[in-house]
Amino acid sequence: MRVHQRSWMICGLIAILAIPGAFAEVKLPAIIGSHMVLQTGQENPIWGWASPGEEVTVSIAGQEKSTKADDQGNWKVTLDPIQSESPLTLKVSGKNTIELKDILVGEVWVCSGQSNMEWPVERSNDAENEIKNADYPKIRLFQAQKAIAGLPQKDTTGEWKLCSPQSIPGFTAVGYFFGRELHKELDVPVGLIQSAWGGTPSESWTTKESLAANEISVPIIERWDQVIENYPQEIEGYKKQIDEWMKTSGEEEEAGKPVSGAPSVPRDPRANPHRYSGLYNGMIAPLIPYGIRGAIWYQGESNASRAYQYRTIFPMMIEDWRREWGQGDFPFYFVQLANFREVFEEPRD
């Protein structure tokens, strides 16, 4: 009898722990933290997680907003526009209290794209002097971790840092120079969010829903889905190759011959940054709906061989971001690529 009672108690405990947000403390996404910059002149969402039904109160600069977590433990409040030239403290209270300090109000920009945007300050021209002079405590930096996901993610890792010779070396050079000019010209704090991955195409940064709704981009989805479907067969083939290699390499070793290299493990296509929507899901979705002024973008080489397709997908991606952020048609600046690859006077295959 006691065994049965204990079993039911264990099952009950497991069931309770499986409930999303059960007994959870109030939590915030990584993008919302101390030293962040809130976008000036507009509303700013603050969101996170708590126990279902838990009341959460957010206070800053004389404002106080309250809400209750939904059945999944999600909650969000929207702050009224804030004007402040002094650092602020934001307090989030529920069963526990989180206090974020040194928050500024200014201009916030997302810096995204491929290696052009990912290229760090430490590899730029005159890097030593640039790094030495990068002492701008009112410029704040956030680097989203590189992440690929099959579905939109709710969080990333990273933290807001003050721009300094210690924090700037690995940060996007284009983003830094852009933000520095804004800071100097406007004389306001600037928040820069880096979310970039070298060698990636625009479809990786676009939602599956948008790609699936356009006949120009549907073949991209079909091709990748087929590759993913074939992956288990590739692994089986690899196992046979390894078995054969083990046999032949042993024979080569016994004969005193050089041992041939082992077959390479097939790469899991689900972990490929070129896969459609993977970087949107892993590196853009976790930033939404953080208040921003706009985005800067530097990318294109990875789509250069599919220019006709790119002229549809790139505007689609921009519309995607604007729709998902829900802030209207925010500015989206992009760099037109310099000459890329050799120019031929006559058509070639």
How confident is the prediction for the chain on average, in pLDDT?
Answer: 91
CATH class name, domain 37-212+276-334: mainly beta
SS3 70: coil
Mapping DSSP onto H, E and C, the string for 291-311 reads CCCEEEEECCHHHHHHHHHHH
- pLDDT tens for 83-113 read 999 999 999 999 999 999 999 999 999 999 9
- Cβ–Cβ under 8 Å, residues 75 and 67: yes
pLDDT at 21: 44
pLDDT at 245: 83
Cα(268)–Cα(265) distance, rounded to whole angstroms?
9
SS3 107: strand
pLDDT at 15: 41
Cα(320)–Cα(206) distance, rounded to whole angstroms?
7
- Cβ–Cβ under 8 Å, residues 138 and 189: yes
Global confidence as pTM: 0.88
- Within 10 Å of residue 236's Cβ, how many Cβ atoms? 11
Total count of residues recorded for the chain: 349
- pLDDT tens for 275-327 read 999 999 999 999 999 999 999 999 988 888 888 899 999 999 999 999 999 99
State residue 58 phi and psi, 5-degree precision: -115, 130
- pLDDT tens for 196-240 read 999 999 999 999 999 999 999 999 999 999 999 999 999 999 999
Q: Kindly tell me if the per-residue pLDDT of 2 is higher than 70.
A: no
- Cβ–Cβ under 8 Å, residues 58 and 77: yes
Cα(31)–Cα(287) distance, rounded to whole angstroms?
7
pLDDT at 292: 99
Q: Kindly tell me if the per-residue pLDDT of 10 is higher than 60.
A: no
- pLDDT tens for 111-130 read 999 999 999 999 999 999 99
Beta strand pairing status for 97-113 and 190-196?
A: parallel
- Cβ–Cβ under 8 Å, residues 52 and 71: yes
pLDDT at 40: 98
pLDDT at 296: 98
| CB contact burial 194-208 (16+ within 10 A = b; e otherwise) | bbbbbebbbbbbbbb
pLDDT at 341: 67
- pLDDT tens for 43-80 read 999 999 999 999 999 999 999 999 999 999 999 999 99
Give ranges for CATH 2.60.40.10 in the chain.
37-212+276-334
Give the distance, in angstroms, between the CA of residue 298 and the centroid of all CA atoms in the same chain.
16
